[in-house]
């Protein structure tokens, strides 16, 4: 693969090291050559107005001026995700004792998770950078998104998953015709293999490895959309599930960018992270007051969050502390309760990551760490149809009856 000096990624100007500040030209780079710190995209935004954004398509491309994508991005085949519903959750708020609660429901994306956002940006950037193949290591949702986006774009894809992944996520990746590879071990083992393969195949874009700086920027659109859908108003507090931690840090970045650009007024919200206890290295570090995240071996039903060595873990700690938030964890039993509570109160069936988020929201309120009077947004990042096993043993028919009204009345009246 050859990267030329004519690369055009909109208003993105260069890459910058998050640790030492070293700058690098735009290209297929993800680690600083000076300190090996992670790189992220820097911009010269110029003037951006609400009117320009609002005149754009009802997808993440309405925010293309804020993303590392070419100006012609809407003309190139992609899954065009985004502008998912922001649901006012009065029933859940009443049950938990919150004054005003919203749910950003990203299960409405093309492959039913927020990963469509990051993959769409990664694909647009990867094509501009000259990559020919799309690939990823994944805990499931990313596999779905990469396989679908590659199919839409008409390019080859390779997807690597842990061999014990939930069956629905395996099926909903393989159906797109990708080369799906199940790997013995957990996500961290899969990720190591992907990193080695990225070094061997210089025309393969591993979206969350060698084009990670561009991929990660896609999560900013969650923050942009939420703010626009609130009438260009920042929420006061948000709760976000944490796997690698990139989503949380980029949502924080989006809020700060909106303030800096004068598109909104006020301070960025307090940001809270949510993990399952069986894979909670960031929550553990936060509660212990540590700056370093110690890797763990995941053991939780929330497999989409089961990253034992989260790349952005230290930055999640920074964001939570800087904004006055926290990082909390809940048991698998609480995760299941969270899934059922959200479904029962708001008619939204979330995957296990959503159950983690709802359960952490409830726990933060119980422990007085969240302000019940402040406007709150939580993020549901995936569809419950992908993790049916999490609840299949605890829900089902109220009973089996003969096809008679007498049998029905007997059942519902307890007789």
Q: In what order do the strands lie in the sheet with 23-24?
A: 23-24, 12-17, 39-43
Q: What is the spatial distance between Cα 58 and Cα 314, in angstroms, rounded to a whole number?
A: 34
Q: What is the spatial distance between Cα 253 and Cα 239, in angstroms, rounded to a whole number?
A: 15
Single pTM value for the model: 0.95
Q: What integer pLDDT is reported at residue 3 of this predicted model? A: 44
> Tokens standing for 69?
């994508």
Asked whether the beta carbons of 192 and 307 are under 8 A apart, the reply is no
> Tokens standing for 332?
């698998």
Q: What integer pLDDT is reported at residue 6 of this predicted model? A: 55
> Tokens standing for 198?
């990225």
DSSP characters for 52-108?
Answer: HHHTS-SSGGGGGGGSSS-TTGGGS---------EEE-HHHHHHHT-S-EEEEEGGG
Q: What is the spatial distance between Cα 165 and Cα 183, in angstroms, rounded to a whole number?
A: 10
Low-confidence ranges of the chain (pLDDT < 50): 2-5
Asked whether the beta carbons of 31 and 37 are under 8 A apart, the reply is yes
List of residues 6+ apart from 379 with CB closer than 8 A: 103, 104, 106, 114, 222, 238, 239, 240, 241, 247, 251, 357
Q: In what order do the strands lie in the sheet with 376-380?
A: 86-88, 101-105, 376-380, 237-241, 270-276, 326-330
C-alpha torsion 236→225→212→37, nearest 10:
-30
Q: What integer pLDDT is reported at residue 414 of this predicted model? A: 85
Q: What is the spatial distance between Cα 306 and Cα 90, in angstroms, rounded to a whole number?
A: 30
Instruction: Please write the tens of the pLDDT for every residue from 95-152.
Output: 999 999 999 999 999 999 999 999 999 999 999 999 999 999 998 999 999 999 999 9
List of residues 6+ apart from 392 with CB closer than 8 A: none
Which domains does the chain show, CATH number per domain? 86-111+217-390 (3.40.50.1100)
Cα-Cα end-to-end distance for the chain: 73
């Amino acid at each position: 693969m050859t990267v030329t000096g004519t690369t055009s990624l909109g208003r993105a100007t260069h890459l910058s090291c998050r640790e030492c500040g070293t700058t690098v030209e735009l290209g297929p780079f993800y680690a600083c050559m000076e300190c090996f710190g992670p790189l992220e995209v820097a911009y010269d935004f110029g003037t951006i107005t609400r009117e320009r954004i609002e005149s754009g398509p009802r997808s993440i491309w309405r925010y293309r001026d804020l993303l590392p994508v070419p100006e012609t991005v809407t003309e190139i085949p992609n899954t065009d995700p985004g502008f998912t519903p922001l649901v006012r959750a009065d029933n859940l708020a009443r049950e938990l004792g919150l004054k005003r609660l919203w749910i950003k429901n990203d299960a409405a994306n093309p492959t039913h998770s927020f990963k469509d956002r990051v993959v769409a940006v990664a694909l647009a950037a990867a094509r501009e950078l000259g990559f020919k193949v799309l690939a990823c290591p994944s805990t499931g949702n990313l596999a779905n998104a990469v396989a679908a986006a590659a199919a839409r774009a008409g390019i080859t894809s390779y997807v690597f998953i842990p061999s014990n992944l939930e069956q629905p996520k395996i099926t909903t990746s393989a159906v797109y015709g990708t080369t799906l590879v199940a790997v013995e071990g957990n996500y961290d083992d899969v990720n190591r293999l992907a990193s080695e393969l990225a070094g061997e195949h210089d025309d393969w874009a591993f979206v969350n490895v060698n084009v990670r700086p561009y991929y990660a920027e896609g999560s900013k659109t969650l923050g942009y959309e939420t703010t626009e859908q609130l009438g260009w108003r920042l929420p006061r507090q948000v709760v976000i599930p944490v796997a690698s931690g990139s989503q949380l840090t980029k949502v924080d970045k989006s809020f700060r960018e909106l303030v800096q650009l004068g598109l909104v007024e006020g301070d960025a919200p307090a940001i809270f992270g949510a993990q399952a206890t069986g894979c909670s290295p960031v929550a553990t570090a936060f509660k212990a007051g540590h700056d370093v995240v110690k890797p763990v071996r995941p053991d939780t039903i929330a497999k989409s969050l089961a990253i034992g060595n989260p790349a952005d873990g230290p930055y999640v700690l920074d964001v939570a502390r800087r904004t006055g938030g926290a990082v909390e964890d809940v048991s698998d039993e609480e995760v299941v309760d969270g899934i059922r509570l959200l479904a029962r109160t708001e008619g939204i069936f979330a995957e296990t990551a959503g159950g983690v988020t709802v359960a952490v929201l409830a726990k933060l309120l119980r422990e007085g760490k969240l302000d019940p009077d402040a406007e709150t947004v939580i993020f549901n990042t995936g569809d419950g149809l992908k993790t049916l096993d999490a609840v299949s043993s605890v829900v089902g028919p109220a009973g089996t009856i003969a096809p008679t009204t007498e049998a029905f009345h007997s059942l519902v009246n307890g007789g």
